[in-house]
Amino acid sequence: MLLSHRIVRRTLTDIVAIGAALACMACRQAAADASRARGRADSTWSLVAHPVTAAHAMVASNSTLASGAGVEVLRAGGNAVDAAVATGFALAVTHPEAGNIGGGGYMVIRMADGRTAALDYREIAPLGASRDMFIDSAGHRTRASTVGYLASGVPGSVAGLTAALARYGTLPLSRVMAPAVRLAEKGFVVDSFLASSVRENQELIARFGGRAVFLPHGTPIAVGDRLVQADLARTLRRIASGGSAAFYRGVIARQIADEMSRGAGLITRADLSRYAPVWREPLRGTYRGYTLLTMPPSSSGGVTLLETLNVLEATGPPAPAMSERYLHRVVESLRRAFVDRNTRLGDPAFVANPIDRLTSKEYARALAAAIDSARATPTADFEAAAREGTNTTHYSVVDAHGNAVATTTTLNDLYGSGVYVQGAGFFLNDEMDDFTARPGVPNSFGLVQGASNAIAPGKRMLSAMAPTIVLDSAGQLALVLGSRGGPRIITSVLQVLLGVIDGHLSLGDAMAAPRIHHQAWPDTVWFERHGVAVGTLDSLAAAGYALAPAPFSPGGYVGRVIAVARRGDQYEAVVDPRTSGGAIGY
Ligand code: DON
């Protein structure tokens, strides 16, 4: 309680712009009621989404050039999977902070003929990894899980993208990779997003080989420069002609292993040659008549999303967005789902995941019944949680046949570990930080996780990525979405779904609406500044919640969603107004 009062006091001080409203309780209540009626928090909330519509097909990603690569392949006769693979490789060129061939990801596919698939191309811990490798002699987590050579898991992206193409694509790899090769070889003009991304991360980039490309002459590339990536172009050409083997067993494997030996890293040629993506059944769940196809472990994203939605559904008819009742239910549902996520899930090749139970309606009803309708339940009350003690990019593709692909891929933090494979021209991930360094010790996302997600050689680290395809009650494609933001992936995807399904908002309005975040530990409700009415914050504090403006960088925003919706016989795409990128359709 003391903690919550302290945080709320700070919150009120922060919201100086609407300080006048604090003068009297009645004004505050009136403002809150008015905000609720609008479905928005207060008049200073200013995000606006810019939907793009198209009659036949759509590609939406964090880079307009990469979306263009997907559309080029669609127009050449490719399907949504061909286009997704083209977009994925192009993102590795045009969106180097997160697009990658040195990371990993997940893909959920729904073909128009009803076939569905989930592809897990998450990185794995190298064979030389060990449980306590990121804990120093004093028991503290070291920075080695996020920066430098030890931070990288064995990359899965090339294996994943090529496997998806081989099973569901229609065009040769060299054709779908042609736009990416061209963008790397001929270069492209640096826009303001890329320029500021490199500028803000120049310290990390400067420590490793990427400095020659991104900080030529010691200064960051600038708006209007042409960025040519000759080494990356050669690497992409090798993959385009030699397939995944070129990366995992050929010249590129040797370049990765050589880079690792320069910095005492763990990834060897043996690690690379044994890497394989895993085809899985998508998780299938329902929410108020809609069906969700989403990602099973090794990502926690799908399980946690479905568990939260099930609990919410069991709490009764939807409450008005951002009302006290809405926030209370959303936070309590998230809390319970994140406690389960943090303590029970891990790579299914290593630990048993109780997926059926966690995603069952019966379990959700039991969890919902235990929610106190008037008060917060402290996370510490959950025995398991108490005992246990950025950067990603999503893209959504739909084609003229109705095939749909949701893909989320990541290096984890911006530019991953910073390590740049010299001669090969790409960054390696720092995905090892997603493991539990030690139960009870938070990772860089503040996630406090358990032994199920402990480091072991060859194991996939638990993810929060949640590429999701939603079908309406008639079984028709309704939405293709996903996000970046670590655990905020789950909460931001959730809130867009609630806006569309419960709030009956347009996709644009659901994407622009304010969000909150709660991940069980720390036991704080983070809200986007000006996103929750002051009166509502007060009521929640009185109910026992600790609240604070979201501290997430940049902008204090929760998640960055990319979504495509079907609207009648058209597609509508929205790139989160919190991020860069663009959708292109025809
Ligand atoms: O797999 C995960 O959950 C994280 N590595 C995702 C990281 C992320 O989304 C960073 N983006 N801001």
Contact 560, 492 (CB under 8 A): yes
The secondary structure of the chain in percent helix, strand, coil, rounded to multiples of 5, reads: 40, 15, 40
Q: How far is the CA of 128 from the centre of ligand 1 (A)?
A: 24
CA dihedral 277, 267, 426, 78 (to 10 degrees): -10
% of the chain surpassing 70 pLDDT? 91
For residue 369, name the pLDDT band (cuts at 50, 70, 90).
Answer: very high
CA of 28 to the centre of ligand 1 (A): 37
How large is the average pLDDT for residues 3-9?
29
Q: Assess contact for 503 and 39: CB atoms under 8 A.
A: yes
CA of 78 from ligand 1 middle (Å) equals 29
Q: What is the CA(96)–ligand 1 centre distance, in A?
A: 15
User: Tokens 């009626």 appear where?
Assistant: 37
User: How many angstroms is it from 465 CA to the middle of ligand 1?
Assistant: 7
Q: Is it the case that residue 385 has pLDDT exceeding 70? A: no
Q: Which two tokens stand for residue 552?
A: 């997430």
Sheet containing 116-121: order of strands = 278-280, 116-121, 104-110, 404-410, 392-398, 58-61, 582-585
Burial tier of 77 (Cβ tally within 10 Å: 0-12, 13-18, 19+): exposed
pLDDT band, very low/low/confident/very high, at 192 (cuts 50, 70, 90) = very high
- Interatomic CA distance for residues 480 and 285, integer angstroms: 15
**Is the pLDDT at 383 greater than 80, yes or no?**
no
Ligand 1 centroid, distance to 410 Cα (angstroms): 6
**Residue 487 alpha carbon, nearest atom of ligand 1:** 3
Q: Is 62 helix (H, G, I), strand (E, B) or coil?
A: coil
Q: How many whole angstroms separate alpha carbon 360 and alpha carbon 397?
A: 29
- Name the closest-CA residue to atom 1, ligand 1: 463
Residues in contact with ligand 1 by the CB-under-6-Å rule are 390-392, 410, 412, 431, 434, 463-465, 484-486, 489
Q: Tell me: the pLDDT tens digits for 395-406?
A: 999 999 999 999
Give the other-Cβ count within 10 Å of 106's Cβ.
31
User: What's the token pair of residue 340?
Assistant: 């389960």
Alpha helices (H) along 370-487: 383-387
Q: Is residue 13 predicted with pLDDT exceeding 60?
A: no
Per-residue pLDDT band for 484 (boundaries 50, 70, 90) equals: very high
Contact 101, 158 (CB under 8 A): yes
Ligand 1 atom nearest to 434, measured from its CA: 5
Which atom of ligand 1 approaches the CA of 408 most closely?
A: 9
Q: What is the pLDDT of residue 391?
A: 76
pLDDT digits (tens, 9 = 90+) for 34-92: 444 434 444 589 899 999 999 999 999 999 999 999 999 999 999 999 999 999 999 99
Place of tokens 């659901």: 510
The two beta strands, 547-549 and 525-527, are parallel
Q: Which atom of ligand 1 is nearest to the CA of 431?
A: 5
Asked if residues 527 and 550 have their Cβ atoms less than 8 Å apart, the reply is yes
Residue nearest to atom 2 of ligand 1 (CA): 463
51: its two tokens: 């939907």
d(CA 439, CA 419): 27
What is the position in ligand 1's atom list of the atom closest to the CA of 560? 12
User: In a mutational test of the pocket of ligand 1, which residue from 95, 443, 444, 445 has the highest number of ligand atoms less than 8 Å from its CB?
Assistant: 445
- What number of other Cβ atoms are within 10 A of residue 476's Cβ? 9
Is 64 catalytic? The answer is: no
**CA gap 36, 268 in Å, rounded:** 56
Residue 77 C-alpha to ligand 1 middle, in angstroms?
33
Return the pLDDT at 10: 28
| pLDDT given at position 553 | 87
Of all protein residues, the one whose alpha carbon is nearest to atom 4 of ligand 1 is 486
* Mutation to probe ligand 1, out of 460, 489, 491 (largest number of atoms < 8 A from CB): 489
How far is ligand 1, taken at its centre, from the CA of residue 107, in Å?
A: 15
Judged against a pLDDT cut of 90, whether residue 29 lies above it is answered with no
CA distance 177 to 171: 10
Distance 413 CA to ligand 1 centre (A): 7
State the average pLDDT for the chain.
92
May I ask the CATH class of domain 51-187+228-586?
Answer: alpha beta
CA distance 290 to 471: 6
Number of the ligand 1 atom closest to the C-alpha atom of 122? 1
In angstroms, rounded to a whole number, what is the distance separating the alpha carbons of residues 15 and 13?
5
Dist. CA 291–CA 478, nearest whole Å: 9
User: What band does 139 get if pLDDT is binned at 50, 70 and 90?
Assistant: confident
DSSP annotation of 582 reads E
- pLDDT tens-digit map of 338-352: 999 999 999 999 999
Residue pair 511/561 in contact (Cβ under 8 Å)? The answer is yes
Confidence class for position 306, pLDDT limits 50, 70, 90? very high
* 206 Cα: distance to centroid of ligand 1 (angstroms): 23
Which residue, judged by its Cα, is nearest atom 5 of ligand 1? 412
Atom of ligand 1 at shortest range from CA of 413: 10
Q: Which of 313, 277, 312, 311 is nearest to 295 (CA)?
A: 277
Q: What is the DSSP letter of 317?
A: S
| Pocket mutation for ligand 1, best pick of 447, 465, 558 (most atoms within 8 Å of C-beta) | 465
Alpha helices for 287-394 (secondary structure H): 301-314, 324-344, 355-358, 361-369, 383-387
| β-pairing verdict for 420-421 and 392-398 | unpaired
Which atom belonging to ligand 1 lies closest to the Cα atom of 433?
Answer: 5
Contact 477, 116 (CB under 8 A): no
Nearest to 167 by CA among 103, 124, 118, 123: 118
Place of tokens 């899980």: 145
Phi, psi for 224 (deg, rounded to 5) = 95, -20
Task: Quickly state the pLDDT bin for 387 (edges 50, 70, 90).
Answer: low
- Active-site position among 11, 64, 379, 392: 392
In terms of C-beta density within 10 A (0-12 exposed, 13-18 middle, 19 or more buried), how is residue 251 classed?
Answer: middle
Q: Which of 106, 145, 412 to mutate to test the pocket of ligand 1 (most atoms within 8 A of CB)?
A: 412
**Nearest ligand 1 atom to alpha carbon 483:** 9
Give, for ligand 1, the residue of 120, 391, 392 to mutate: max count of ligand atoms closer than 8 Å to Cβ: 392
The CA 485 to ligand 1 mean position distance, Å, reads 5
Print burial letters for 542-555: b (CB count within 10 Å at least 16), e (below 16).
ebebbbbbbebeee
**Average pLDDT value for residue range 276-290:** 98
Query: Which residue owns the Cα nearest ligand 1 atom 6?
Result: 486
